[in-house]
Structure 1
Amino acid sequence: MDPKELPSILREDKISEETKKLISSLLSHTDSQGQKLCQYQGCWYYYNTLQGVLNFQRGFKPQDTDIILASYPKSGTTWLKALTVALLERSKNHSSLSDDEHPLLYDNPHGIVPCLEMDLYHESSSPNLSKFSAHRRLFSTHMPLQAMHETLKHSPCKIVYVCRNVKDTLVSWWFFLCSILKIEQSRGVLESLHESFCKGIIYYGPFWEHLLSYWRASLEDPEHVLFMRYEEMKAEPRDQIKRLADFLGCPFTKQEEDSGVVDEVLDLCSLRNLSSLEVNKTGSRNDVDHKFYFRKGEVGDSKNYLTPEMENKIDMIIKEKLQGSGLIF
């Protein structure tokens, strides 16, 4: 693929001379698709993403009421964004979720909740954030928590992290990467991604370090960091969305629960509904078609693609890396 046709996260066109100099001093790696990665503060980034991380670290000024939705890529990010938007919109307007002007009907969840390092701070350390509500700004990130620690360490802003079983995450990333690179979903690409996941040398990896940074913070500071699991959200959607609403400070009233508002939110944000909306069937963001953000959303779908040997290797690594943390998959 022509470099100019690559999605913005894979290009190298927004890198400053200062960052190029920094990159030359970092550990680097070229993946099996020919994309260049470098390791900064223990995490692997594509070069353009690293520029956004550096800009964020230099320029972001948190507000006390900020909400940051965090995740490893392909872990339920789109769903978490939609749910949070629906909860805050309902709380803000006290209006029906079927309102014809609801933002989820007119924009993709990634357009409503931009990513700090890939959208807002991609090109500048001082972007214009005036369009965000003065009451509660809503952002997202794929950065591990240590990348934000210095910037947020004195802030009471809230962080919601969603994690997903690494095997399903891997398969979802395989489909997504092949889609945005316009390449065949071949076994060879899946096997190379599997190897990269297991080594930890992959975009935003190692996966287990990413996971543990938020898990530990949620145990140490549960008032400000909420740790959610995709599998629990699928198995107990009503309980988990109420837990999210409580954490965000906009709990459901008994009247809302009795009148079915919880189910309305879940229905509005369901994969079935979101993927059927015209705004999510057309258009793109950062050179990625909206439709690529919606696939199956199933738990355990990786069994249809990974061999038992591939599954066992991941299981062994995750068990070893999470040992003693209290986090179990």
Structure 2
Amino acid sequence: MEPSSMSKPIIASKTTVEWREKKYKDEISNLTQKNGWSPSQPLCLYKDFWFYPFFLQGALYARDHFQAQPNDVFICSSMKTGCTWIKSLCFSIATRSQFDDSTSPLRTTVPHDCIPFLEFGEYFTAQGPKIPLFASHLPYTCLPESVIDLGCKIIYLCRDPKDTYVSMWHFFRKVVATTTPGDEDSFVSNEEGFELFCKGLSSYGPYWDHVLGYWKASLERPDKILFFKYEDLKKETEACVRKLAEFLECPFSIEEEREGTVQKIIKFCSFESLSNLEVNKTGKQVKGRGRFVENNKYFRKGKVGDWKNYLSAEMDELENDRVFVNQPWNFNKALLALNDYDGLEALESIPFEITPFWVRIYGLPLRMMNEKIGVAVGEAVGPVLEAESLNAHTSRSPGSEGSHQRGSFGGFISPNHGARAACSGIRGSGSQSVPSKSVTGGGAAFQNHVDSMVLRGKSVARALTYEDQLCEIISRIDGRVAVKTPRFQGDGSSDNRRRDARFEGCYG
């Protein structure tokens, strides 16, 4: 990546921060608010995500004033998913023609100042070359419009939610002690913080919705959005660094490969190397109005699976028993479809035992579309108080016994509400779909909106449909990667409605 024109830098100052606070005070005060992790900092709901006011002020400022350029690249993530590391890697890759590890600005500047954050409103003029790299913790739907409209490239990094939570809890607890003295004594406990995190009440949360926004966008624009997992970056660092270089349009040459440039960048940007630099041991990052973060707070452990040292078995089970709405990978569980109704105000991570919802299975062989299978699936989710025969609302289409047909099972699962099963019908070559029918009410709604969830066991196909148009199919889970089949857009004609669109679910 060559030095080039950048989006106009804005130098943050006390005046800028004070002006921002005054300008957006009324807008923020009218938002839904809930208690956050610190007593003096409530969480504000903006576009279905929770923000601390200071971060939201910067997000609104970027919304109104930031104008991206077509060649800008954005490194995006939720908080505490490895952003410091991937920033240093991207910066080193993009500037390697001008610096080596002995002259890199990273030796004297924290990575967050080399690649500035959008929502902090602090687009510092880099001490090194001007490169079109920016970072953001903003959800995909909250990015400035110009970023999406211009088709800017995005690199997204996600991480195991339990490791993300542990890192976030430690970070905020330490930062609160330096930015708001007195609050550290009433900062949420580990158990309280984890419960809030599971409910989506965390900075830029709900976490899974944050991840899903970018994941879906990466499926729609794979040439523009590169989706990474922290665990993969740790396990296959060299391969990921090469992929980053390709995406940044500055691939490593044969000569660089021969000279070990990839390995040198990895070593220089390692946790051990960066955390031991003087700037990261003793430096501070100014946040305006007397706020600052000590650079060493950005470096804790950088390990995979460290959550096991902080979360109890009960807390782990709590996380496993949550419906993480819209989760994009399956952690060795099955991908099903979830809709929740009954007056819930917003989709969020919610306990099974208090939530009525529909469960749908796609791709079942006709021989398996029966009450016994429906009950078995329902019991894997929660108590099934009653089930109706799946075949009661289906019409069989021509085809060999056991072939995969388009179909679904819906179950209303809740100990607090009656549970019944209803099938929305099957579609195969030459067959008409049967309208969804529910003996509990509201069943037709799930035809128009399906959100994914995870459940133990085997992979199951999922689709997102709207007005008889098949918009998206995720046919199976291969490892932790969702395999998507080609989509089609129907025009509502009977021919398209009868089109054979098979869901190849994985059963065994």
* TM tier, smaller: 0.7 to 0.9
Tell me: CA distance 1:166–1:89, structure 2 relative to 1, closer, same or farther (3 Å).
Answer: same
C-alpha spacing 1:105/1:80, structure 2 compared with 1 (3 Å) = same
CA distance in 2, matches of 1:318, 1:238: 34
Letter in 2 for 1:295: R
Determine which of 174, 178, 181 is the counterpart of 1:179.
174
Q: How far apart in 2 are the matches of 1:187 and 1:143?
A: 24
Does residue 30 of structure 2 align to residue 29 of structure 1?
no
1:279/1:32 Cα in 2 relative to 1: closer, same or farther (>3 Å)?
A: closer
- In the TM superposition, residue 185 of structure 1 has moved relative to its aligned partner by 9.8
Q: Give the structure 2 partner of residue 303 of structure 1.
A: 308
Q: Is 1:269 equivalent to 2:274 in the alignment? A: no
Which has the larger share of strand? 2
* DSSP-derived class of the 1:70 partner: strand
8 Å contact kept, 1:29–1:36: yes
- Cα RMSD after superposing both structures: 2.6
Provide the secondary structure at the position in 1 that maps to 2:149: coil
Q: Which runs of 5+ in 1 are unaligned?
A: 1-7, 122-127
- Secondary structure at 1:153's aligned position in 2? helix
What secondary structure sits across from 1:31 in the alignment? strand
Q: Are 1:150 and 2:155 an aligned pair? A: no
Residue 118 of structure 1 aligns to a residue whose secondary structure is coil
TM-superposed CA distance for 1:20, in Å, is 2.1
Q: Does 1:199 align with 2:199?
A: yes
Q: Which amino acid aligns with 1:137?
A: P
Larger Rg: 2
Cα drift, residue 145 of structure 1: 0.6
Greater RCO between the two (CA within 8 Å, min separation 6)? 1
Counterpart position of 1:79 = 85
Number of residues of Structure 1 aligned to a counterpart in Structure 2? 308
Residue matched to 2:135: 140
Aligned partners of 1:318, 1:251: CA distance in 2, in Å?
A: 40
Cα deviation for residue 14 of structure 1 reads 5.5
Distance 1:130 1:175 in 2: 29
Structure 1 residue aligned with 2:412: none
Of 37, 45, 48, 1:42 maps to: 48
Q: What is the rounded CA distance, in whole Å, between the counterparts of 1:36 and 1:153 in structure 2?
A: 29
Question: What is aligned with 2:298?
Answer: 293
Aligned to 2:74: 68
Partner of 1:3: none
Other structure's SS at 2:231 match? helix
Q: How does 1:244-255 map to 2 (within 5 A)?
A: 244-255=244-255
AA aligned opposite 2:108:
Y
Check the 8 A contact 1:15/1:48 in 2, yes or no.
no
Higher mean alpha-carbon deviation, 313-322 vs 206-215, is at 313-322
Question: What is the CA-CA distance between 1:269 and the residue it aligns to?
Answer: 0.1
Deviations for 1:203-224, whole angstroms, at most 9, x for unmatched residues? 1001011000110111110111
Deviation string 1:116-167 (CA, Å, 9 cap, x unpaired) is: 111427xxxxxx8698956x41111100010016232321321111101010
Q: Give the direction of change, closer, same or farther, for the CA distance of 1:185–1:269 in structure 2 (3 Å limit).
A: farther
**1:101 alignment counterpart:** 103
1:94-136 CA-partner distances (Å, limit 9, x unpaired): x5x23x3211111110111111111427xxxxxx8698956x4
Secondary structure at the counterpart of residue 51 of structure 2? strand
> Could you list the per-position Cα deviations for residues 270-312 of structure 1 after superposition, in whole angstroms to 9, with x for gaps in the alignment?
0000011111111111211001111110000000110122112
SS at match of 2:189: helix
**TM-score after normalising by structure 2:** 0.57
Shift of 1:252: 1.0
Letter in 2 for 1:86: S
Report if aligned partners of 1:208, 1:318 keep a CA contact under 8 Å in 2. no
What letter is aligned with 1:170? Answer: Y
One-letter amino acid matched to 1:114 = P
Structure 1 partner of 2:95: 89
Output the amino acid matched with 1:25: N
Aligned to 2:319: 314
Change in Cα spacing, 1:245 to 1:318, as seen in structure 2 (3 Å) is farther
Rounded to whole Å, the distance in 1 between the matches of 2:150 and 2:19 is: 29
Identity %: 38
Q: Which residue of 1 aligns with 2:361?
A: none
Structure holding more helix per residue = 1
SS of 2:143's partner is helix
Shift of 1:64: 1.0
CA offset at residue 187 of structure 1? 10
Which amino acid is 1:201 matched to? L
